[in-house]
Amino acid sequence: MDQIEFFQEMHDFEQQREENLRRLKQELGEWMAAEYYAPHQAS
């Protein structure tokens, strides 16, 4: 693998990580909101 390929791979990885992080934050935010607004039930 030459350098250009390597950097392309790294770039794709970074973009994928950004996307995953955004999705994770969104899901966490929704979960926290649901937890916060839901009546607390003993589970």
The pTM assigned to this predicted structure is 0.62
CA dihedral for 24, 26, 31, 36, sign (positive or negative)? positive
pLDDT over 70 at 6, yes or no: yes
- The pLDDT of residue 40 is 65
Mean pLDDT of 9-32: 97
**Nearest alpha-carbon partner for 33 in 23, 22, 42, 25:** 25
- The pLDDT of residue 42 is 54
- The pLDDT of residue 9 is 96
The DSSP element (H or E) to which 43 belongs, if any, is: none
Cα torsion 16, 17, 20, 22 to 10°: value is -110
- The pLDDT of residue 20 is 98
Mean pLDDT of 3-8: 94
- The pLDDT of residue 23 is 98
